[in-house]
Structure formats: C-alpha cells, structure tokens
C-alpha cells in the first residue's frame, strides 16, 4: 500500500487563517505533521484551524506576524523552529489579489503592498527557513503561486507580476538548494472557492463566466490544493524540484480553444 506519511515533520503554513491555508494546515496535520498555523489578522479563523486539528488528535499552534516586514518574517521562522523543535516544510501561502485597477489608474502604494505580501513575504520566509533546513540537510519549500504566474489578468498587474516573480524565485532557489537536500516547488491554483474570490462566485453571472474559463467547468475546492501540497511535501515527491504543479481544473489548457481558432 502506498502511504503519504508526514509523521515527524514540522510544517509552517503562512496565511493559514484563510480558506486555502487552513485546508493545507489540516491536510498536512492529517498526514502526521506538526503544524504552525500563521495568520496576520485572522486570529479567530486561525484558532478554529488549530481546534479542528487538535480535535482529530493532531498537533498545531498559531503564530501571528506581518510577513511584509522582513524582521517579523525572520522572527516568525525562529519562533516556529523553537516551538516545534525544527522546521522542514515551509508553505508560503499567504497572499492577496489586491484592488482591481488598470496601470495608471492604480495607486503605487497599493501595488507595492501586493508585491510585498505576495513576493517579498515568501522570499523573507524562505531565506530564514533555509538556514535551518541547511543544517539538517532536509526540507521542502512550497510556494503557492497561481495560474496568474502564466495568465495575464487585467486590473491585477501587481498580483501577476508578484506571482510570476515567485515562480522564478522557486526555480532559482531550487537550483541553489538541490545539493543541500532541499526541494523547492510551486503549486499554481486556479479558481479555488474561498473568500478571496467571493465577489465572483457569489454572483451567478460572473460565476458562469469564470466556469467557462475552466476546462472542467467548475471551481476547485481548497482540499484539492491541499492534497497536491501534501504530496509535494512528502517523500513521494522526492525527485521533484524547481517546477510548478498547476492544480486548476484545466484553466491553463485554454478551454476557449475547444471551438474555432
């Protein structure tokens, strides 16, 4: 029997108060990992994730930090390391879409904030985690990008730029770390039903438009991303590094090209 076993592993999931991060934390815990549930503002949601995990007999703790601040990110990694007694799985999940605005009509401060959270945050966490992982010569860093590391998205230039940057950070870090026993991979979710895109899926017209952009014709569930993350974090993925796994129901296969052309 094949088994996905994370027993004995220590994992930090950033932005785990949200739908995607919460599902990832629960799934990694279910596979046996001791998990650190990071949040910035959503303490109630983060506590609920920890309660759900401990109710199932798992191990989890919450940690608060603003990851756009390099000192706070480094402190978080140090705190998690101390509390869990190590860190060998880092899931850089925390992120934001930002406000819809075309370049020129937008606000440079808001643009910078999105890049700070979506690209600098993962970079700060990765660089702090690497020094711990290098010592033990084992570790996996999983960056949650998006189909928008590939697909341009009108009104979200900061988001697409940050996610494309995070993809290249993944590859470069993987290249730097492969001989140290550390794998670095990205997961690119498509449209996963969480609060981030509630305005889209709560409106029947925009939901129909979105579903037409997905070959499978439906949005994804957070657990469908979490399962992919658990696989990549495990030894089942021992030969996978420096690449992006799209988990998008076929958004990247241009379903609109089923006709015409």
Comparison of 146 and 167: residue with beta carbon closer to ligand BGC: 146
**221: buried, middle or exposed (CB in 10 Å: 19+, 13-18, 0-12)?**
middle
Q: At what angle do helices 108-115 and 157-177 cross, to 10 degrees?
A: 30
Considering the complex, what minimum distance in angstroms separates the CB of residue 36 from ligand BGC? Answer: 23
Residue whose token pair is 């799934």: 27
Comparison of 64 and 197: residue with beta carbon closer to ligand BGC: 197
List interacting residues with ligand BGC (CB under 6 A): 97, 146-148, 190-191, 196-197, 200
Residue nearest to ligand BGC (CB): 146
Considering the complex, what minimum distance in angstroms separates the CB of residue 184 from ligand BGC? Answer: 20
Considering the complex, what minimum distance in angstroms separates the CB of residue 99 from ligand BGC? Answer: 12
Comparison of 190 and 222: residue with beta carbon closer to ligand BGC: 190
Q: Is the dihedral of CA 213, 216, 219, 221 positive or negative?
A: negative
Considering the complex, what minimum distance in angstroms separates the CB of residue 156 from ligand BGC? Answer: 8
Is 159 annotated in the active site? yes
Comparison of 47 and 223: residue with beta carbon closer to ligand BGC: 223
- Any residues with CB less than 8 A from the CB of 89 and at least 6 apart, and which? 6, 9, 10, 11, 12, 28, 33, 139, 140, 142, 233
Catalytic residue among 39, 124, 159, 254: 159
Bridge-based pairing of strands 244-247 and 34-39 is unpaired
Contact present, 157 and 100 (Cβ < 8 Å):
no
Residues classed as catalytic: 159
């Amino acid at each position: 029997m094949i088994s996905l076993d994370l027993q004995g592993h220590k994992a930090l999931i950033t932005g785990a108060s949200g739908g995607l991060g919460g599902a990832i934390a629960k799934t990694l815990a279910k596979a046996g990992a001791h998990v650190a549930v990071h949040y910035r503002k959503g303490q109630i949601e983060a506590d609920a994730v920890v309660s759900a995990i401990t109710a199932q007999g798992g191990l989890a703790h919450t940690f608060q930090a603003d990851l756009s601040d390099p000192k706070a990110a480094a402190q978080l990694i140090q705190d998690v390391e101390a509390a869990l007694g190590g860190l060998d799985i880092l899931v850089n999940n925390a992120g934001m879409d930002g406000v819809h605005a075309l370049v020129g009509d937008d606000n440079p401060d808001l643009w910078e904030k999105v890049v700070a959270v979506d690209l600098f945050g993962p970079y700060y966490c990765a660089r702090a985690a690497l020094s711990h992982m290098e010592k033990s010569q084992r570790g996996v860093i999983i960056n949650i990008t998006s189909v928008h590391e590939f697909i341009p998205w009108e009104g979200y230039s900061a988001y697409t730029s940050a996610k494309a940057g995070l993809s290249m950070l993944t590859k470069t870090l993987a290249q730097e770390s492969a001989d140290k026993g550390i794998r670095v991979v990205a997961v690119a979710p498509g449209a996963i039903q969480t609060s981030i895109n509630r305005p889209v899926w709560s409106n029947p017209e925009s939901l129909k438009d979105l579903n037409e952009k997905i070959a499978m014709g439906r949005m994804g569930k957070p657990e469908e991303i979490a399962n992919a993350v658990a696989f990549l974090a495990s030894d089942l993925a021992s030969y996978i590094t420096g690449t992006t796994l799209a988990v998008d129901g076929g958004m990247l296969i241009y379903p609109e090209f089923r006709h015409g052309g």
